[in-house]
Amino acid sequence: MNQQQCKVLKNMEIARDYYELEFTWDNKSEPKPGQFLTINPNGVPLLRRPFAFSSYQSGKAAIIYKKIGMATKGFSVLREGDTIDVLGPLGNPFTLPEKRPLLIAGGIGLGPMIFTANYLAENSYSPILVVGARDKSLIPELNLNSAIKVNYCTDDGSLGFKGNVAEFLGSQRDFSVSDCEIMACGPHIMLKACHEIAIKNNIECQVSLEEMMACAVGACYGCVVETTLDEKYKRVCKDGPVFNSRVIKWT
Ligand SMILES: Cc1cc2nc3c(=O)[nH]c(=O)nc-3n(C[C@H](O)[C@H](O)[C@H](O)COP(=O)(O)OP(=O)(O)OC[C@H]3O[C@@H](n4cnc5c(N)ncnc54)[C@H](O)[C@@H]3O)c2cc1C
Ligand code: FES
């Protein structure tokens, strides 16, 4: 884990209220898919904000963030050449799957799943990526490795399958869910549905949680989730954010 001052290389709106922020990465620690960083909202008296990596190549990294509150509104006006105060990489990455990766992305979970899908494709996997959103205005054009099979689901049917990702998985015939391993990031309700699909098909499922965080380095216990383990509570920032879905006590 390292703190560094990164130069903004690009910051542009790629879908409604979704921005891609690309910045220099001089840190020797290479971010892995599923890991995250925190950014200090410059000039605003707020805690550092956590975001998952959406890409990393030698010398540069990126996040995809949704403009929702004070910090992210501030990030949305960053320009090329501005400096951001970054701490990372933080947390544990996804574990490489043993079966075909079935990646499920919803909402602000899109960034980490793009990174994971590209990383797996570059490492000889044939990932299936399912992207869910309310409507097509919330889905950016994706820069994906050609080995990735992408499927879109929208609640209003404006892009791809009409319905949510769970309904899509239940209805499609192109691949068998039971031959895959699920890796997912998105809203709690979507992650819970992914877990239930994994149980039903007797397959593994890793979920990346995006709980609210304070310190983001394991010190405050402000991000704990209830688990099925003997140690009842785990810190999302330090023990996660990626967990085997069977470890989480789903509510
Ligand atoms: C490990 C991790 C990875 C994350 N990765 C991403 C990412 O890749 N892209 C992205 O856009 N966001 C991501 N988030 C969420 C991001 O940290 C928050 O959206 C951000 O902190 C909001 O800051 P803000 O000051 O703009 O909004 P705030 O004013 O802090 O919040 C605005 C609204 O969003 C809600 N909110 C804030 N944080 C969260 C959260 N973590 N989960 C659910 N609701 C929240 C608040 O309750 C409030 O209603 C991640 C969070 C975690 C913990
Ligand atoms: S946010 Fe402080 S322990 Fe996780």
Pocket, ligand 2, Cβ cutoff 6 A? 213-216, 218-223, 235, 237
Task: Give the Cα-Cα-Cα angle 204, 211, 54 (nearest 5 degrees).
Answer: 70
Total domain count, the chain: 3
What's the CATH number where 61 sits?
A: 2.40.30.10
Please check whether residues 6 and 68 belong to one and the same domain. yes
Asked whether residue 95 is assigned to any structural domain, the reply reads no
CA-nearest residue, atom 10 of ligand 1: 65
More confident residue, 174 or 100: 100
Helix, strand, coil distribution of the chain in percent, nearest 5: 20, 40, 40
Confidence at residue 94, expressed as pLDDT on a 0 to 100 scale? 98
Per-residue DSSP letter, 127? -
Please identify, by atom number, the ligand 2 atom nearest to the C-alpha of residue 236: 4
Residue 226 has pLDDT above 80, yes or no: yes
The H or E element spanning position 104 is strand 100-106
Whether residue 159 is contained in a domain is answered as: yes
CA angle 91, 97, 102 (to 5 degrees): 100
Three-state secondary structure call for residue 240: coil
Judgement on whether residues 81 and 129 belong to the same structural domain of the protein:
no
For 101-127, write each residue's pLDDT tens digit. 999 999 999 999 999 999 999 999 999
The residue out of 56, 90, 124 marking a domain boundary is 90
- Which-ligand-closest: CA of 91? 1
pLDDT for residue 82: 96
- Quick one: 132 and 200 in the same domain? yes
Contact 88, 40 (CB under 8 A): no
With 0-12 / 13-18 / 19 or more C-beta atoms within 10 angstroms meaning exposed / middle / buried, residue 136 is middle
pLDDT at 19: 97
Q: What is the pLDDT of residues 206-216, one digit of tens each?
A: 999 998 889 99
Angle 176-189-202 from CA coordinates, rounded to 5°: 35
Specify whether 251 is located in the same domain as 150: no
Amino acid at 121: A
pLDDT of residue 1: 61
Residue ranges lining ligand 1, Cβ < 6 Å: 36, 46, 49-52, 63-66, 68-72, 108, 111-112, 210-213, 241
> 123 and 76 share a domain?
no
205/225 same-domain check: no
Q: Is the pLDDT of residue 184 over 80?
A: yes
What span, in angstroms and rounded, lies between the C-alpha atoms of 206 and 185? 9
What average pLDDT does the segment 154-166 reach?
95
Burial of 42 (0-12, 13-18, 19+ CB in 10 A): middle
Flag whether pLDDT at 218 surpasses 80: yes
Looking at residue 123, its pLDDT comes to 96
Note whether 123 and 58 are same-domain residues. no
Average pLDDT, integer, range 203-229:
93
Q: What percent of the chain has pLDDT over 70?
A: 99
The answer as to whether 114 is a domain residue is: yes
DSSP letter assigned to residue 142 = P
Residue 77 in any domain: the answer is yes
Domain span at 218:
211-251
Encode pLDDT of 8-59 as tens digits. 999 999 999 999 999 999 988 999 999 999 999 976 777 899 999 999 998 9
Using one digit for the tens of pLDDT, what is the confidence trace for 169-178? 988 888 899 9
Q: Are residues 50 and 76 in the same domain?
A: yes
Identify the domain boundary among 65, 90, 115: 90
Q: Residue 154: which CATH number? A: 3.40.50.80
Co-location of 112 and 178 in the same domain: yes
Ligand nearest to the CA of 71: 1
Average pLDDT, the chain: 94
Residue 116 and residue 36 in one domain: no
The type of residue at 61 is: A
Instruction: Report the percent of the chain where pLDDT is more than 90.
Output: 88
- 41 shares its domain with 128: no
Q: 233-235 and 224-226: which strand pairing?
A: antiparallel
Residue 167 in any domain: the answer is yes
Amino acid at 109: G
Residues 196 and 220 in one domain: no
- What six digits make up the tokens of 40? 């200090």
Whole-prediction pTM value? 0.95
Find, among 52, 66, 64, the residue nearest to 22 by Cα.
Answer: 64
The CATH number given to whatever domain includes residue 238 is 2.10.240.10
